[in-house]
Amino acid sequence: MTRWRLTVEFDGQPFMGWQRQDHGPSVQQSIEEAVQRMTGEEARIHCAGRTDAGVHGLAMTAHVDLDKDLTPFRLCEGLNALLRPDPVAILAAEPVADDWHARFSCIGRRYLYRILNRRASATLTRGKVWHVPQELDVDAMAKAARHLEGHHDFTTFRSVNCQSQSPVKTLDRLSVERAGDEVHFHVAARSFLHHQVRSMVGTLALVGKGQWTPDDVRAALEAKDRQALGLNAPPDGLYFVEALYPED
């Protein structure tokens, strides 16, 4: 048996998220069904981090154990052929040690959030960005974001359905920058709470609109109360960028 590390790209729009669901399609289900059709094996795919419905993946890391003798090229080509027309692609495959785990071996995760900040609505990027027509003050959002970086209790920015044992996390990076008509949020940490990135982005957007001040964000964080949250951003603009591992 070989344990394969997979790098996966996907458009989250038609899916209920990464994890298998009883009430709709998932990225995990698409890949597992492709694996079964290719190898005849009912293998389970494990990923570096689950994503919500509508969230996209630029380079999600996953792993799967297979008995069938394959080369990386054959595995990628075979799965990609069987995944069509689902918007999922296997970008790379490589054999790894039997004790390597996509989730538990991971030492860091990076996300990108995209806001389309213009009066005209999204056309080519519909479903891939959060459209905010009001001009956003990026400098004010960047100032507010600095209150969230570091080691904190993020209860305010945690979904009530979060299954993490502790709300305390260390946020390594939360930067805000303008990129043409878009505002980009670059977020990095070892791990995240459920809805943490979307909750932080939504609240920072209130600062950008002038409805909140940077100090309001600090106060919301210190409240350690979900009721103090400003806004939860939609999933459309969120991308899982990459997972980091010691060997990388």
Catalytic residues: 52
The C-alpha atoms of residue 119 and residue 129 are separated, in whole angstroms, by 14
CA distances from 228 to 43, 196, 215, 220, 231 (A): 43, 14, 13, 5, 9
Q: Are 118 and 183 in contact (CB under 8 A)?
A: no
User: Which residues face 131 on adjacent strands?
Assistant: 116
The C-alpha atoms of residue 248 and residue 245 are separated, in whole angstroms, by 5
Q: Give me the phi and psi of 56, to 5 degrees please.
A: -105, 165
Counting Cα atoms < 13 Å in the Cβ hemisphere of 213 gives 3
168: number of Cβ within 10 Å: 12
